[in-house]
Structure 1
Amino acid sequence: MSAAFDQIAEYAATAPTSRSTLRRDQSNHAVSRSLSNLGRIIREWGYASPLYTHRLKGRHPVQLLGSPDDPAPGNATLGSAIFGGDMLFEGEQHALGEDFWVRVEDASPAFQRYAHSFHWLQDLAQVNDQIKARDAAETILKWWLPLGEDWFRDVWAAETLARRIINWFTHAPLILSSSDLVYRSKVLTSIAQQSRHLSRVLNDTEEGLPRVYTATALTLAGLLLPASDALLNKGARALERTLSSFILADGGPISRNTSDTIRTMQLLVLVRDAYTDRGEELPGWVQTTLDRIGPFVRAMRHGDGNFAQFGGTSAEGGHGSNAVLAASEAKGKPIENAAHSGFQRIEAGRSLLIMDAGTPPPSAYSAKAHAGTAAFEFSVGLERMIVNVGPASKRGPVPELAELARTTAAHSTLIVADRNSSRLLENGRLGAGVSETLTIREKNEDGTRVRHTHNGYLKRFGVKHERTLNLSSDGTRLIGSDKLFGPKLKKLQGKEITLRFHLHPNISALKASDGRITLETRSGKTWIFDVDGGEAEIEDSLYLSRPDHPVPSRQIVVRMVREGNEPPIANWVLSEMSL
């Protein structure tokens, strides 16, 4: 199977010319979402009834039928912090104690979801002293059971509940090794009751990855709880249906967030291994989906193994991706022309270019998306040179960055009048803007060229943006061209048009007297940036390899010059200086 995917990827990469047009799904599902939310509220009124607990009663499992290993590594430092009496998450810290679960109600919603999902079991699994880890895990769970074993809206929210069940299954040795039979019975009964509830609220989540979690949890419950074939059938059908729309033909997610693919791979590995442990026949779509995702994940990584920062993915958002990829057994070379998800990858010599050449995801999947159409990142070997700012956390040191990092100006692309190519709505989703892209990729005598056009500024300014990138076959010369063209160029009168090239913090920049800019890598390599059609300056910027860790960096800003009524165009080149 992997050989077939390699042949497809190789053909796409070597075809002399490929042309792809993408159109954004702009369907407005506000009415259906409102009706769905109303239905959920009505159902939750029933769940809150004392009688609902009786409806969840059923067969009491005496053991689990397996416990698949989690392929994603946890953080031993965070696990050790639990030994010290504190639970940490994204800069938030809460002391542990018998009243922890009562006090956690005053924590941020994000911390509450983290704590109640029991994701911290993954961190305890990494510490050296596993006897101490089991004691800590069982103690914290014993505190949770009196409060969490009955339905409570936030604690039993579909995605949080699904993540909790998955973590309990995969880290069962931490929570079910006790010789206390009463405690073990309470935990197993709770798992069974939560699983029955999950089967009722499977789709009470946002579309996309949350539904992959709920369907995975129900599938695992069906495999690992005795006599639970009904849960297995429902969960497996839901998971197959969800993946068929969430993972596109090239292996990319419809959300266009690469981190989502790693999480999906992790979940599918758990499902596959649970089927194997049970001796059940594995549905063919499980490994086929893994094989499709693998080449896409590899395509979105730079030479240092970290992700390109597109669509809400942070450089370190692929934490554990090597382990997950290895566990997935998904082969296949990095796909170069991801025409369905809208990404282009050009690798030549030691250089690598990754470009966002797609439309934003549909509104339902755009809660984390960025307005970065036509942006690119460029690296040489293990060193990144041109990057995007990356996603920021509202709980980070600069909360305002969470929205600013999603703007077009936070990406290495063209910006008109400091406006976003796609609008950021108050509800956090992406609105009108880029609705169609055209991408032409071709091999030529000089290397590989990608010509990309989007209509993000057409309605507001009457123009389209065309960006052409040509990377030489030896990787030492990147030639670019950015222009605006369209029927209403007059709308650009008086509007500032800028190109931004955000630099990695390890890159030093110096402007020479002739206007060219010298870039020097930490390893001592020198690159020269030159532009015709605008004035290049060096300005301050920020870089976030993690959402909570902004560091100072620099950026090249080109203010394009427009001559008369001619379409504004800037031709630029980035070339390595040979010694």
Structure 2
Amino acid sequence: MAAASLQESVGRKLLRRASAAWYATRLYGLTLPRQAPLELPVLPDEAWPGSVANADRLFQGRFVFAGVEVVSPHAAPWSMAASELKLDAASHAAWAAELHGFRWLRDFATQGGDMARRMARALIASWLGAHAQRIHGLPWRADVAGRRLSHWIGAAHFVLDGADDAFAHDFLLAIARHTAHLNNAAKRTPPGLPRFAATIGLVYGLEALGQPEQAAMQALCDALETQILADGCHVSRNPSQLYRLLREIVALWRFLLALDPERAAMLQVFLDRMAPMLRFFRHGDGGLALFHGGQEEAAAQIEQLLDLSEAKGKPLNSATLSGYERAIARRGLLLVDAGGTPPAQSDAPPPHRSLLSFEFSHGKDRLIVNCGASRRVGGGWAEALSGSAAHSTVTLGQGEPSVDARVSVMRNEQDGAIWFDLEHDGWRASHNRLYRRRLFLAASGEDLRGEETVAESLTGGMPVEAVLRLHLHPGVHASLIGSGDTVILKSATGQGWRWRGAGGVVRLEDSVYFGHADNGGADAPRRTQQIVMAGSAGETPLVFKWALTKIG
């Protein structure tokens, strides 16, 4: 079976390469439409607002995408190579995919005005002059072309308003050619997010041109089934990825709802599944938890998305398929990563080693968090932030837990209190040890306790340093007091908390926080602090105990 699967995978790769070579030929170009449609019968309105700040950056020739800023004041940098920009291949590919994907058109539409409209047209015309004739390379990768077509159609009202005949002709012809090309290429795109992006672009194109799109809609639903777990989480286990995907589905659903409710109903099952899971990840401030590459995102936009989805389902307490636990006690909220490491993706940062990490908030105050993720796919920050030391959990030695670690979780509730008994064997291969974590949230929501156990070596061996890290949100100020085992915390709203630890050496250290999105801006870490407790795990189990309680 494995050999047959490998053969199939190799066969698909060879087919994709052969298809790419065919698409790049002049003969293939002749098979695509050569006459522009007179109009687009139906067009969606842009569902989501852009960023005026990003529009201003684009006016200045600052192209800031995927955590990378490229300054090109005199011409759009459509064809700048990684070596010219001094970027690693992964960072350059992610930046170029955002550039050629044209999501930033909505930034000009949000800014509004004739100058923004002229700039948007100039950039589209510039791209058409550079890349419209030959279907080749990253600009014409099916997922990039699908995103571009989706955003061109979403911005069509804006860019066509008052446009001259020559631009309108070229723009409409490009939409027709993109649609015809994606009709060939989407089904050969690698499964997962790439196929979803290619297929949703195809659906928009067919709908805008008034062509049948039932098969494309079914292909889109099939692509979603491979991405969305039965409990509503995205397979990446990344809350931000769930948020971004739900935005795309809600926008298409609302567009189709006015045209054909039966086709819109094909997407309803995904809205009903995903919206409650997005609620699952929200802290009291309305933003998202920082797991597996996620960021807080904008609370107001999350709220708007959930309203527009019209999905009223409540979040689960235990999302066992996606590997998360959620405990609420009055104003206290505890979110626990109780799953394994997700598989690596070629177009994403390294998967996060965050086994049994957690975040805790009280009301609108985030207290204990994870460090978040770099927007840049490559580079040092992406690697560092994916490590277990960037998460509120225990690390052993200098290595990382195994990617195929097994995780077990037991949830208990009594009289409003909730506690978890958790274990993973990710340190078995490197240190022959198990790690157990017990987390207890009192019914008041103002008393969180932890017990961290590093078991004795299963086969003997040398002692190893164990370090508990509890990263604090930048809004929290911490001071070490007393005999060195107590930390006083002051939250962003002025609330006081006391943390006490036993079983190891306690200290405060600097940390970083990448949780705030800046509408596609370059990486901007915020300085913060972390509570650290260290000890040596030897022939007997090492146990750290700690308690976080609200003062007054």
**TM score, norm. by length of structure 1:** 0.86
Q: Which has the higher contact order (CA 8 A, sep 6+)?
A: 1
Change (3 A) 1:257 1:375: same
Change (3 A) 1:85 1:207: same
After superposition, where does 1:112-261 map in structure 2 within 5 Å? 112-127=96-111, 129-150=112-133, 151-203=135-187, 205=189, 207-226=191-210, 228-229=211-212, 232-261=213-242
1:375/1:411 contact within 8 Å kept: yes
1:374/1:413 contact within 8 Å kept: yes
- CA shift, 1:180, in A, is 2.4
| Residue 544 of structure 2: aligned partner | 570
Pair 1:291 & 2:272 matched: yes
Amino acid at match of 1:140: L
2:476/2:490 contact within 8 Å kept: yes
| Residue 94 of structure 1: aligned partner | 71
| Residue 368 of structure 2: aligned partner | 386
Q: 1:499 aligns with which of 465, 468, 483?
A: 468
| Residue 448 of structure 1: aligned partner | 418
| Residue 49 of structure 2: aligned partner | 73
Amino acid at match of 1:510: S
2:505/2:533 contact within 8 Å kept: yes
1:134/1:173 contact within 8 Å kept: no
Distance 1:364 1:169 in 2: 28
Change (3 A) 1:81 1:409: closer
Distance 2:460 2:300 in 1: 48
- CA shift, 1:166, in A, is 0.5
After superposition, where does 1:104-115 map in structure 2 within 5 Å? 106=84, 108-115=92-99
- CA shift, 1:27, in A, is 12
Distance 1:142 1:124 in 2: 15
Amino acid at match of 1:139: A
- CA shift, 1:59, in A, is 6.9
| Residue 408 of structure 1: aligned partner | 388
After superposition, where does 1:513-528 map in structure 2 within 5 Å? 513-514=482-483, 515-528=485-498
| Residue 339 of structure 1: aligned partner | 320
Distance 1:173 1:441 in 2: 52
Deviations 1:78-112 (A, max 9, x none): 11333445444345143354675456895543332
Q: 2:529 aligns with which of 542, 554, 558?
A: 554
Change (3 A) 1:363 1:91: closer
Distance 1:559 1:366 in 2: 36
Deviations 1:217-254 (A, max 9, x none): 1122222212x21xx13321211111112111111011
Distance 2:457 2:226 in 1: 37
2:266 partner SS: helix
Deviations 1:512-553 (A, max 9, x none): 233222222233322121223222111121111247111221
Change (3 A) 1:28 1:457: farther
2:36/2:176 contact within 8 Å kept: yes
Amino acid at match of 1:136: M
| Residue 265 of structure 1: aligned partner | 246
Distance 1:28 1:401 in 2: 39
Distance 1:325 1:72 in 2: 13
Distance 1:147 1:363 in 2: 33
1:294 partner SS: helix
Amino acid at match of 2:247: Q
Q: 1:460 aligns with which of 403, 413, 430?
A: 430
Q: 2:357 aligns with which of 375, 388, 409?
A: 375
Change (3 A) 1:486 1:392: same
1:479/1:572 contact within 8 Å kept: yes
Q: Aligned residues, how many? A: 535
Amino acid at match of 2:430: R
- CA shift, 1:172, in A, is 0.8
1:570 partner SS: strand
1:359 partner SS: coil
Deviations 1:263-312 (A, max 9, x none): 22111122212323434523533112112111111111211122111011
| Residue 88 of structure 2: aligned partner | none
Distance 1:544 1:313 in 2: 9
1:138/1:174 contact within 8 Å kept: no
- CA shift, 1:205, in A, is 4.7
Question: Unpaired runs of 5+ in structure 1?
Answer: 1-25, 423-431
Deviations 1:325-369 (A, max 9, x none): 222222223332211111111121221111111112234589432
Pair 1:543 & 2:513 matched: yes
- CA shift, 1:114, in A, is 2.1
After superposition, where does 1:286-365 map in structure 2 within 5 Å? 286-316=267-297, 320-364=301-345
Amino acid at match of 1:359: G
2:30 partner SS: helix
Distance 2:190 2:299 in 1: 22
2:105/2:155 contact within 8 Å kept: yes
Amino acid at match of 1:417: G
1:86/1:94 contact within 8 Å kept: yes
Point out the more displaced range, 101-110 or 40-49: 101-110
Quick one: percent identity of the two aligned structures?
A: 29
1:569 partner SS: strand
After superposition, where does 1:15-34 map in structure 2 within 5 Å? 33-34=9-10
1:126 partner SS: helix
Amino acid at match of 1:384: R
Distance 2:433 2:187 in 1: 41
1:201 partner SS: helix
Amino acid at match of 1:177: D
2:285/2:363 contact within 8 Å kept: yes
Distance 1:212 1:448 in 2: 39
Distance 2:467 2:496 in 1: 25
Amino acid at match of 1:415: T
Amino acid at match of 1:243: L
Change (3 A) 1:335 1:522: same
The Cα RMSD (Å) is: 2.7
Pair 1:56 & 2:32 matched: yes
Distance 1:165 1:403 in 2: 32
Amino acid at match of 1:153: G
Point out the more displaced range, 87-96 or 256-265: 87-96
- CA shift, 1:440, in A, is 1.4
Question: Unpaired runs of 5+ in structure 2?
Answer: 86-91, 517-521
1:224/1:274 contact within 8 Å kept: no
Distance 1:555 1:27 in 2: 48
1:300/1:308 contact within 8 Å kept: yes
Deviations 1:499-523 (A, max 9, x none): 1101112222222233222222233
Change (3 A) 1:28 1:349: farther
| Residue 89 of structure 2: aligned partner | none
- CA shift, 1:445, in A, is 3.4
1:65/1:224 contact within 8 Å kept: yes
